[in-house]
Amino acid sequence: MSLDSIDRVAVLGAGNMGHGITEVTAMAGYDVTMRDIKDEFVEDGYESIAWSLEKLEEKELIDESADEVLDRIETTTDLEAAVSDADLVIEAAPENLDLKHDIFSDLEAYCDEETLLATNTSSLPISDIAEAVDTPERVLGLHFFNPPVKMDLVEVIYGEDTSDEAAEAGYEWVESIDKTPIYVRKDVRGFVVNTIVGPFGGEPAFMVSEGEATIREADATMSHERGYPMGPFELADLTGIDVGYHVRKEGGSPIPPITEEKVEAEELGQKTGKGFYDYEDGDGADYQPDDVDDFDWLRVEARMINRAAFLVGEGVATPEEVDTGVQLGLGFPEGICRRGDKIGLDKVLEKLETLYEETGSDRFEPHPYLEELVEEGKTGEDAGEGFYEYDGDDGGLDSYHDLNAELEDGVLRVELDRPSRMNALSGDLLSEIDDLFSSVDTDEVRCAVIEGAGDRAFSAGADISGFSGVEPTDLMDVTPAFETVNDFPRPVVAKVDGYCLGAGLELALACDLRLATERSEFGAPEINLGLIPGGGGTQRLLRVLGETRAKEMVFRGEHIDADRAEDWGLINRSVDREAFDETVDEFVDDLRNGPPIGLEIAKKVMNEGEDASLEAALTMESQGFGLLTSTDDVLEGTMAFAEDREPEFEGE
């Protein structure tokens, strides 16, 4: 049982999750059969896939036509026909254990004994589902997030009897469909993501129920001050208040009174027109930054961090897996383990102990692993170790958290790694960019390439949640990261695919060359927030575009497409997505094989000459030319030209 043995996939269920999983499976090149119990269900699911693929094709988010993907999808209502030749079956039926038992019993009868059997359950234990078969070692959870086409995360979950071989095959298959898997090594209720999100919604509901906060205070603080994509009450209204209610009830967890009241009144959120906010006669979730007050956010985050300690301490997941899960599955601004280390685990423990002593509620009882970390002095970043080791970072290219970097054949490849936030530039990410380009051994680098993770953005701008609570004077200095990239002694290429906006555009402007796919969009939208570009955007746009076009971009705050950006001179090339990598490689090859000293001097003279008088700039150019004539690279270039061969520059 391995990835190599998976060619055909069957998905059981054509609802939102079933047809979404079918779509991403077919997009990855697999033949897939989607099955449901009624023709109308199958037809609706197939039509949803076709509509989605057409939209993806229009936006150039797939590398082939919608029809080519659809050709790999078959549909049926016959379970045996759907699974008899499948190598992997993914069950995506309603969350009913008896129903799932019936399905898995049939699967054992209809499938080959080597077929991998997976469930997409979000709430039922994998072990309970596996009770229906005689071969539970091949049963695992593959928990996708809704909608599967957009959500990158998949939890790969062990049941009590799941074999390592089965889990590894599932993990590798998830990677093969271009999703990010995390292992959930023990079959705990809520798995990883829902274990963490429970206190995010539950604790504020208790605080409001007890009169210690208002709904707007809680949402405004957690969103605008702490950086979460939305407040806990807005999130509950979006997902359905009854959903969280039933999860708590089934799990035997205490239910906040305000949640119970809403369910009894059938005010379940957006789907009923009213929940914690009024969506019919009111303005919905209308909280604003001004609603931030003295809401006790540490009480909420301490509980989430305590749940993370449970997951790590019980061997369910590593800190890296927990943090990947909440960032990709929930859109958290950073991992909850990382946030705990920043706050200080001793402060977290003290908060929990105080609340536990005051209330006697089990939900505040500190997990032994959290206590152990604090007792050992592993309290977080300031101590050098917490969930993560900080003193152990060797400063190498693998020591960063919000970016990925590798140096191979003289090319420093840098990936902004915050896809769940469209690679928004947080303070931490900017610090890592600054550190990388300041500390890397330039003798080993011929050129650098910066791109964004995921398929939506190079970078959609600054992470504005980081502005909360910051003094205006602290934001008046030029962001060092942009200047560091601008001054880097080797050519830097911005590889733009998708949105390049705000601070993302400023980072691209700090690079020397900018290449983009035709679907990319560029803009300086800060004016729409009452701001102006603050990372050099106003000045670099003036120098690149000239006054007329630069002012149009800054004053209007609108996006321009890649073709216009190329016409204006903002980027070097606008390229069809299929030819993009090849075009970038052509540029990179020229830079990598070029004379390092010559390129360094050329960049320095052009950058500094831009702000000098023509006379001073010409003097710098002449000095640079004279300096280069004494280098071995010039001798090599001259000899190679005379001998009609490619030069081999050594940077000497």
The DSSP bridge partners found for residue 73 are: 32
Task: Judge contact between 92 and 9, C-beta under 8 A.
Answer: no
Residues 22 and 8: beta-carbon distance below 8 Å: no
Active site residue: 415, 451, 526, 566, which one? 526
Residue 141: partners with Cβ closer than 8 Å, 6 or more residues away? 118, 119, 120, 121, 126, 155, 156, 157, 158, 159, 184, 187, 191
Identity of residue 346: D
Cα–Cα distance for residue pair 150/240, rounded to 1 Å: 20
Q: Residues with Cβ < 8 Å from 494, sequence gap 6 or more?
A: 450, 451, 458, 500, 507, 508, 511, 513, 514, 515
In whole angstroms, what is the distance from residue 275 CA to residue 537 CA?
A: 42
Strands 447-452 and 411-416: parallel
114 is catalytic: no
Q: Are 88 and 174 in contact (CB under 8 A)?
A: no
Q: Which of 203, 234, 506, 566 is catalytic?
A: 506
Please state whether 325 falls in left (phi above 0), alpha (psi between -120 and 50) or beta. Answer: alpha
Rounded Cα distance between 452 and 450, Å, is 7
Query: Other CB atoms closer than 10 Å to residue 470's CB: what's the count?
Result: 10
> Is 526 part of the annotated catalytic residue set?
yes
If you search the block for the tokens 């093969």, which residue do you land on?
Answer: 176
The letter for the amino acid at 41 is F
Give the angle subtended at the CA of 364 by the CAs of 360 and 365, to the nearest 5°. Answer: 85
SS (H, E, C) 258-271: HHHHHHHCCCCEHH
Q: Is the dihedral of CA 207, 345, 388, 405 positive or negative?
A: positive
Judge whether 367 and 306 are in contact, CB under 8 Å. yes
DSSP per residue, 560-618 = EEHHHHHHHTSSSEEE-HHHHHHHHHHHHHHHHHS-HHHHHHHHHHHHHHTTS-HHHHH
Contact in structure between 133 and 109 (CB atoms under 8 Å): no
Task: State the virtual CA torsion across 496, 501, 503, 508 in degrees, nearest 10.
Answer: 30
Cα angle 58, 529, 277; round to 5: 80
Comparing CA positions, the residue from 222, 219, 221, 224 lying closest to residue 467 is 224
- Rg of the chain over all Cα atoms, to the nearest angstrom: 27
Assign 62 to helix, strand or coil: coil
Instruction: State the catalytic residues.
Output: 506, 526
